């Protein structure tokens, strides 16, 4: 995809290698190795000899395998793909060709990440998710380094180290890992009210995505499009997932963190391997230059959204991920994003958070990747040709030819030449003012949009937010911090503050400003479209005596709709069906878990139902799926398991049963229940005792 990047030397090697076995193990110098299991020693029981160059090289290389993990967003997963615009409708606004040349596929590399945890931390923690896209355009690389939430914790880049120190494990004991539920984060939050809006997002289900494939992405800042004449238009970028926006529930995420810490990473990998290519639509909100001050917030303030109901999101094109990396380290770990990587037609604004980021990303890559030549690492190399006078430094792999490495020059014919047609030109913005450390008054409203978010949530989303605050603040040891946060929340919504206070043992705060009552329906996941059962994972529980005809029928119908069905039995290999024939199982129940599936289905077969009902693990599968609001289905005597799990047939939304006569009708109803993703009203209010 990234073209033939072999050097002349690589090509010469094709000839030299003649005569070697292609499979021969060699040293880094290309010398074939005779034995890599025993070090060189005088006598069978003698000491290892210094002259064992293979041993020394192997160990030394190993000792140097690690590079520093990213200071934030250390844990991630990446994939290759492409972006293509639908049409040229953005041509009046930007000269960025990759956004305006219809059907031209621009190669991309995307990396999703969590923020706070270390490289080895679990995927499903409560956290913001990074959504970073590198576009390899003909005009150079453009990096859209965004998140799955449209706002940020702070307004000025200079606060970033403070915020990150507060959210990361505490410095004295490095606890807790990948969790915001601790004193230092909430101490920062209570004292820094600009974080309130983002904290509402962090306490919402947006922080618990079911899959990277099912989350939105946002460029967060207001950027600027620039047209061929140098005219600007403000722009915000949005990614909308084709599969809808879906989340896990909190209890489930904590269990998944133990059962399968690679849950989101594997989900992305497996979807691409199986040809279920993840897809997002890119959309933009455009604001004319002259409307800069038309809003009741500042466009340069990254703690604010432009509600979609005020400025609609225009669909622009689609992003498809179609290839997994060949090597995690070489690609996903070494990919180096930088918000300053822009192409002609896209420029920055004076958002002070964005401005701070412009310094940080290049700086961090220099330490992480060990010098200024990281742009030569294959995953970072632009497709556009690179010609300049940059020279030398650690890890220089290019061999620039000739005498000239300066500008202006006559010896090289003046080349390379700046100012060519199509060269990047900054938007010509007039800026003047006194040199001061002061934030604009227009950045001072920290609560209105937090309230807008709260008002826009459905009842179950609100309940999840309250539960999240209670959990997080319940872990905070210092009572004054709990009180401080609750006092801030009273400025968002008094009822919210009172509900949180009641769960964490602090006095309810007095009412603050009244709730403004405005809402933005687009913010609620409850309004996200339902997208069918494609790629949903369904566990089919069986034991000896299972009705294999039913298993076959439901499996083939659901698989036909795109679902992934796995048959789970009390042991690996196969069970016996009702006729005594083997019925293969995908996994033994104890090697996987209910939390790793979107739905659970129990087919008929008297003996199977009896055995499953006596198996505490099988009962747990169903009971836990119920607790997490998932679709549950049972056919014929399979309903017995539901009764043992105390669900009671057919009384709850998302629980679908049939006596086994109408398998087609059952599949239809069950598929609809799975497609709804979750039945949260059930999860909150009617968990059986």
Shortest reach from residue 219's CB to ligand HDD, in Å: 8
Choice between 220 and 623, CB closer to ligand HDD? 220
Contact call for residue 132 and ligand HDD (CB under 6 A): yes
Could you give the string, one character per residue 221-260, with x where binding to ligand HDD holds by CB under 6 A and - elsewhere? x---------------------------------------
User: Is the distance from CB of 548 to CB of 577 less than 8 angstroms?
Assistant: yes
CB 357 within 8 A of CB 72: no
Q: Which is nearer to ligand HDD, 443 or 666 (CB)?
A: 443
Respond yes or no: is residue 652 known to be catalytic. no
Query: Residue 604: CB partners within 8 Å, gap ≥ 6?
Result: 546, 547, 550, 635, 636, 637, 638, 660
Binding residue (CB under 6 A) for ligand HDD from 85, 107, 130, 633: 130
- Among 13-21, 35-43, 84-92, 152-160, the segment contacting ligand HDD (CB under 6 A): 152-160
State the greatest distance between any 2 C-alpha atoms of the chain, in Å, as a whole number.
90
Q: Name the segment binding ligand HDD (CB under 6 A); options: 322-330, 354-362, 451-459, 593-601.
A: 354-362
If the CB atoms of residues 337 and 460 are measured against ligand HDD, the closer one turns out to be: 337
The reply to whether 70 sits in an annotated binding site is yes
User: Is 361 known as a binding-site position?
Assistant: yes
321 binds ligand HDD (CB under 6 A): no
For the residues of 328-375, what is the DSSP string, one character each? IIIIIIT----TT---TTEE----HHHHHHHHHHHHHHHHHTTSTTGG
Q: End-to-end alpha-carbon separation of the chain, Å?
A: 55
* E strand intervals along 243-347: 279-288, 314-323, 346-347
Task: Tell whether residue 220 is a contact of ligand HDD (CB under 6 A).
Answer: yes
Nearer to ligand HDD, 303 or 451 (CB): 303
Q: Please state the closest distance from residue 111 (CB atom) to ligand HDD, in A.
A: 4
Provide, rounded to whole angstroms, the least separation between the CB of residue 132 and ligand HDD: 4
Shortest separation between residue 207's beta carbon and ligand HDD, angstroms: 14
Taking the C-alpha atoms of residue 85 and residue 60, their distance in angstroms, rounded to an integer, is 48
Q: How many CB atoms lie within 10 A of CB 546?
A: 31
Q: Which stretch binds ligand HDD (CB under 6 A): 12-20, 71-79, 191-199, 523-531?
A: 71-79
User: Which of these ranges, 67-75, 89-97, 269-277, 307-315, lies near ligand HDD under the rule CB under 6 A?
Assistant: 67-75
Question: Binding of ligand HDD at residue 75 (CB under 6 A)?
Answer: no
Q: Which residues of 88-125 are buried (b: 16+ CB within 10 A; e: fewer)?
A: eebbebbbbbbbbbeebebbbbbbbbbbbbeeebbbbb
The reply to whether 443 sits near ligand HDD by the rule CB under 6 A is no
Tell which one of 111, 446, 462, 679 touches ligand HDD (CB under 6 A). 111
Phi, then psi, of 414 in degrees rounded to 5: 80, 0
| 160 is a site residue for ligand HDD (CB under 6 A) | yes
Q: Are 305 and 350 in contact (CB under 8 A)?
A: no
Residues in binding contact with ligand HDD, number by CB under 6 A: 27
Q: Report the site for ligand HDD in 299-318 (rule: CB under 6 A).
A: 302
CB of 364 to ligand HDD, least distance (A): 4
The bridge status of strand 587-588 relative to strand 582-584 is unpaired
Least distance in Å: CB of 244 to ligand HDD? 22
What are the backbone dihedrals phi and psi of residue 180, each rounded to the nearest 5 degrees, phi first?
A: -95, 0
d(CA 633, CA 551): 12
Q: Yes or no: say if 640 and 260 are a contact pair by the CB < 8 Å rule.
A: no
Q: Which two structure tokens, joined as six digits, stand for 210?
A: 């079911």
Piece of the chain touching ligand HDD by CB under 6 A; list 68-76, 289-297, 455-463, 509-517: 68-76
Q: Which of 364, 375, 520, 531 binds ligand HDD (CB under 6 A)?
A: 364
Residues with Cβ within 8 Å of 565's Cβ and at least 6 positions away in sequence, in order, are 538, 540, 554, 555, 558, 559
- For the record, the structure tokens of 119 come out as 């490289």
Q: Among 133-141, 144-152, 457-465, 598-606, which window interacts with ligand HDD (CB under 6 A)?
A: 144-152
Stretch of 8-16, 142-150, 460-468, 655-663 contacting ligand HDD, by CB under 6 A: 142-150
What token pair was written down for 596?
């790793």
160 labeled part of a ligand binding site: yes
x-or-dash pattern for ligand HDD, window 368-387, by CB under 6 A?
A: --------------------
Please name which of 582, 659, 587, 652 lies closest in space to residue 617, comparing C-alpha atoms.
587
The size of the chain, in residues, is 689
| Residue 144 near ligand HDD by CB under 6 A | no
Question: 621, 618, 617: which is closest to 630 by C-alpha?
Answer: 621
On whether 111 is known to bind a ligand per the annotation, the reply is: yes
Shorter beta-carbon distance to ligand HDD: residue 193 or 629: 193
Q: Does 348 bind ligand HDD (CB under 6 A)?
A: no
Q: Is 147 a catalytic residue?
A: yes
In terms of phi and psi (left: phi > 0; alpha: psi -120 to 50; beta: otherwise), the region of 393 is left
Q: How far is the CB of 189 from ligand HDD (least distance, A)?
A: 16
Decide the pairing of beta strands 655-658 and 631-635: parallel
| Interface with ligand HDD (CB under 6 A), residue from 90, 145, 306, 644 | 145
Q: Which of 107, 146, 484, 680 binds ligand HDD (CB under 6 A)?
A: 146
Instruction: Name the token pair of 33.
Output: 């190795």
Helix-, strand-, coil-residue percentages of the chain, each rounded to 5: 35, 15, 50
CA–CA separation, 276 vs 274, rounded Å? Answer: 6
Q: Residue 469 is inside which H or E element, if any? A: helix 459-474
Quick check: bond before 263 cis, omega within 30?
no
**79 near ligand HDD, rule: CB under 6 A:** no
Residue 656: strand pairing partners: 633
Contact call for residue 337 and ligand HDD (CB under 6 A): yes
The only residue of 89, 360, 396, 448 in contact with ligand HDD, by rule CB under 6 A: 360
Q: Is 168 in the site for ligand HDD (CB under 6 A)?
A: no
Smallest distance from the beta carbon of 427 to ligand HDD, in angstroms?
Answer: 20
HSE of 661, CA atoms in CB hemisphere, 13 A: 1
Q: Which of 357, 464, 630, 640 binds ligand HDD (CB under 6 A)?
A: 357
> Based on CB atoms, which residue is closest to ligand HDD, 302 or 504?
302
**203 contacts 462 by C-beta, under 8 angstroms:** no
Cβ atoms < 10 Å from Cβ of 664: 11
By CB under 6 A, residue 157 contacts ligand HDD? yes
Whole-angstrom distance, CA of residue 304 vs CA of residue 283: 18
The catalytic position among 141, 147, 264, 380 is 147
CB of 632 to ligand HDD, least distance (A): 36
- CB under 6 A: which stretch of 310-318, 361-369, 398-406, 480-488 binds ligand HDD? 361-369
Is 71 near ligand HDD (CB under 6 A)?
A: yes
**Residue 258 Ramachandran class (φ > 0 left, ψ -120 to 50 alpha, else beta):** alpha
Binding residues (CB under 6 A) for ligand HDD: these are 70-73, 76, 111, 113, 130, 132, 145-147, 152, 157, 160, 220-221, 302, 335, 337, 353, 356-357, 360-361, 364-365
List, by residue number, the catalytic residues: 73, 147
Residue ranges for the known binding site for heme are 70, 111, 160, 357, 361, 368
Residue ranges for the known binding site are 70, 111, 160, 357, 361, 368
């Amino acid at each position: 995809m990234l073209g033939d990047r072999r050097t002349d030397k690589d090509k010469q090697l094709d000839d030299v290698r003649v005569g070697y076995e292609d499979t021969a193990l060699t040293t880094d110098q290309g010398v074939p190795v005779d034995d890599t299991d025993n070090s060189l020693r005088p006598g069978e029981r003698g000491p290892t000899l210094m002259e064992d160059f293979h041993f020394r090289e192997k160990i030394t290389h190993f000792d140097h395998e690690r590079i520093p993990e990213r200071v934030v967003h250390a844990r991630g997963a990446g994939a290759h793909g492409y972006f293509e615009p639908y049409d040229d409708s953005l041509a009046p606004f930007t000269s960025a060709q990759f956004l305006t040349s219809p059907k031209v596929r621009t190669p991309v590399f995307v990396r999703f990440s969590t923020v706070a945890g270390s490289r080895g931390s679990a995927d499903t923690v409560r956290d913001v998710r990074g959504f970073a896209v590198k576009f390899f355009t003909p005009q150079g690389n453009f990096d859209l380094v965004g998140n799955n939430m449209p706002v940020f914790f702070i307004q000025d880049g200079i606060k970033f180290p403070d915020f990150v120190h507060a959210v990361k494990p505490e410095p004295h004991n490095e606890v807790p890992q990948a969790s915001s539920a601790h004193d230092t984060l909430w101490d920062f939050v209570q004292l820094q009210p600009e974080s309130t809006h983002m904290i509402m997002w962090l306490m919402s289900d947006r922080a618990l995505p079911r899959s990277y494939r099912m989350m939105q992405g946002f460029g967060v800042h207001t950027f600027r499009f620039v047209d061929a004449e140098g005219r600007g238009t403000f722009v915000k970028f949005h990614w909308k997932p084709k599969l809808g926006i879906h989340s896990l529930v909190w209890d489930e995420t904590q269990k998944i963190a133990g059962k399968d810490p690679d849950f989101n990473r594997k989900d992305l990998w497996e979807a691409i391997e199986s040809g279920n290519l993840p897809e997002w639509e890119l959309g933009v909100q455009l604001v004319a230059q002259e409307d800069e001050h038309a809003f009741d917030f500042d466009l340069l303030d990254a703690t604010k959204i432009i509600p979609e109901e005020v400025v609609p999101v225009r669909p622009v094109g689609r992003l498809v991920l179609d290839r997994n990396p060949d090597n995690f380290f070489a690609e996903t770990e070494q990919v180096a994003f930088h918000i300053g990587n822009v192409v002609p037609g896209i420029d920055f604004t004076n958002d002070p958070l964005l401005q701070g980021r412009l310094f940080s990303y290049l700086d961090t890559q220099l330490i992480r990747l060990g010098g200024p030549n990281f742009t030569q690492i294959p995953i970072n190399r632009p497709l556009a040709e690179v010609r300049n006078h940059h020279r030398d430094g650690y890890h220089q792999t290019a061999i620039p030819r000739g005498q000239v490495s300066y500008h202006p020059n006559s010896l090289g014919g003046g080349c390379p030449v700046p100012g060519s047609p199509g060269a990047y030109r900054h938007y010509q913005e007039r800026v003047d003012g006194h040199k001061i450390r002061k934030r604009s008054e227009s950045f001072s409203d920290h609560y209105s949009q937090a309230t807008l978010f709260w008002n826009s949530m459905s009842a179950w989303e609100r309940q999840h937010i309250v539960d999240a605050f209670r959990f997080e603040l319940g872990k905070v040891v210092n009572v004054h911090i709990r009180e401080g946060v609750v006092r801030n929340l009273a400025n968002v919504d008094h009822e919210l503050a009172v509900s949180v206070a009641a769960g964490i043992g602090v006095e309810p705060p007095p009412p603050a400003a009244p709730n403004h009552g405005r809402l933005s329906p687009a913010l609620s996941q409850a309004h996200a479209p339902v997208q069918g059962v494609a790629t949903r994972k369904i566990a089919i529980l069986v034991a000896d005596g299972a009705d294999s005809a039913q298993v076959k029928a439901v499996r083939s119908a659901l698989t036909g709709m795109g679902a992934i069905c796995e048959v789970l039995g009390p042991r690996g290999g196969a069970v016996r069906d009702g006729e005594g024939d083997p019925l293969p199982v995908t996994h033994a129940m104890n090697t996987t878990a209910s939390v790793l599936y979107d739905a659970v289905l129990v087919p008929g077969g008297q003996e199977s139902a009896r055995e499953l009902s006596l198996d505490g693990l099988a009962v747990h599968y169903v009971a836990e799926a119920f607790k997490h609001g998932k679709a549950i289905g049972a056919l014929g005597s399979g309903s017995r398991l539901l009764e043992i799990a105390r669900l009671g047939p057919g009384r709850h939304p998302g629980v679908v049963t049939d006596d086994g006569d109408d398998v087609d009708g059952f599949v239809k109803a069950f598929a609809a229940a799975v497609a709804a993703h979750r039945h949260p009203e059930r999860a909150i209010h009617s968990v059986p005792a």
